[in-house]
Amino acid sequence: MNNKPVAVITGASRGIGRAIAISLASEKFDIAAIARTVESEGMESLAREITAKNVAFFPVGLDIACTDCQDEVVKNILGRYGRIDLLVNNAGVAPLKRNDLLEMTEESYERVMNINLKGPVFFAQRIAREMIYLGRQISDYRPAIIFISSISSTRTSVNRAEYCISKAGLSMASSVFADRLAADNIRVFEIRPGIINTDMTARVKDTYDKLIADGMVPQKRWGYPEDIGRAVASLARGDWDFSTGAIFDISGGLNITRL
Ligand code: NAP
């Protein structure tokens, strides 16, 4: 069995997940990086960057929405490393098309809910069971699960309601997992990013450039994937030992309810 802690990050090929994987590698976690396919320039360059930090890198292909595929993936990761110390449920998508709530289709609703909510919930369930088992095998084992939700958990956007609904559900998922797993010594946290400069926001970059310049974000700047990576590293280090179910807004103050 690995003598180093192991972090599993979903959606690690790009954006926020990639920054989280790099940040955790700097904390000396061995990495299992999940994306839909392992054969991409993103995963290959991530492998180079992670292994340069002298930790192990294991690329794993999984469509997180495929709950039937998750068991085999967990077994493969355990086969490679023998343990999982941290799960970062980061993979997520926006609707393919922004539609007014009254035009939202069932197809788009199901796609977004399956990837953003159902998949992460059952992946957390599968890995939590394993963490409970590992807790009896490994001394000094400090497992944690982190859900990457969004400012959209609590703020509405009427042209991407399915995204907001999925993230609100993910926030509750974080709370119920935290409650259920507290006595098993598994900490569960929610990170709520604000507006982060990634592929997901590329389509609306000009709109947000203007809104940010006009002061919508109190700290008056875009967030970057590394902002989230640093927050995850702080939680992963164990600095928040007497805390579970907590919500961390990493949004430049967008969470503040202004008059
Ligand atoms: P991104 O740049 O679009 O990257 C999305 C990642 O998720 C990619 O690695 C992608 O991998 C993976 N992914 C997508 N569908 C998947 C699936 N079905 N199964 C497995 N992996 C899948 O997005 P991001 O901005 O980094 O967002 C990451 C998370 O942060 C998401 O949950 C998002 O909702 C949340 N968030 C983002 C923002 C923002 O402003 N960007 C704000 C708040 C919250 P492949 O496509 O390579 O398979």
User: Which of the listed residues 9, 14, 87, 217 should we mutate to test ligand 1's pocket, taking the one with most ligand atoms within 8 A of CB?
Assistant: 14
Smallest CA-to-CA distance from 119 within 72, 187, 63 is with: 63
Question: What rounded mean pLDDT belongs to the chain?
Answer: 98
- Would you state the pLDDT for residue 82? 98
Which residue is closest in CA terms to ligand 1's atom 39?
196
Amino acid at 34: I
Taking only the tens place, the pLDDT of each residue in 116-133 is 999 999 999 999 999 999
Q: Is 14 in the pocket of ligand 1 (CB under 6 A)?
A: yes
Taking only the tens place, the pLDDT of each residue in 162-211 is 999 999 999 999 999 999 999 999 999 999 999 999 999 999 999 999 99
- Would you state the pLDDT for residue 25? 98
In the chain, % of residues over pLDDT 90: 99
- 81 phi-psi bin (left φ>0, alpha ψ -120 to 50, beta other): alpha
User: Which of the listed residues 73, 160, 196 should we mutate to test ligand 1's pocket, taking the one with most ligand atoms within 8 A of CB?
Assistant: 196
- Per-residue pLDDT, averaged over 132-140, amounts to 96
- Would you state the pLDDT for residue 37? 96
Q: Is 150 in the pocket of ligand 1 (CB under 6 A)?
A: yes
Taking only the tens place, the pLDDT of each residue in 41-86 is 999 999 999 999 999 999 999 999 999 999 999 999 999 999 999 9
Residue 90 Cα to ligand 1 middle (Å): 7
- Would you state the pLDDT for residue 236? 97
Is the whole-model pTM more than 0.85?
yes
- 244 phi-psi bin (left φ>0, alpha ψ -120 to 50, beta other): beta
Residue 180 Cα to ligand 1 middle (Å): 27
Q: Is 148 in the pocket of ligand 1 (CB under 6 A)?
A: yes
Q: Is 113 in the pocket of ligand 1 (CB under 6 A)?
A: no
Q: How confident is the model at residue 1 (pLDDT cuts 50, 70, 90)?
A: confident
Tell me whether strands 6-10 and 30-35 are parallel, antiparallel or unpaired.
parallel
- Would you state the pLDDT for residue 2? 84
Q: Is 46 in the pocket of ligand 1 (CB under 6 A)?
A: no
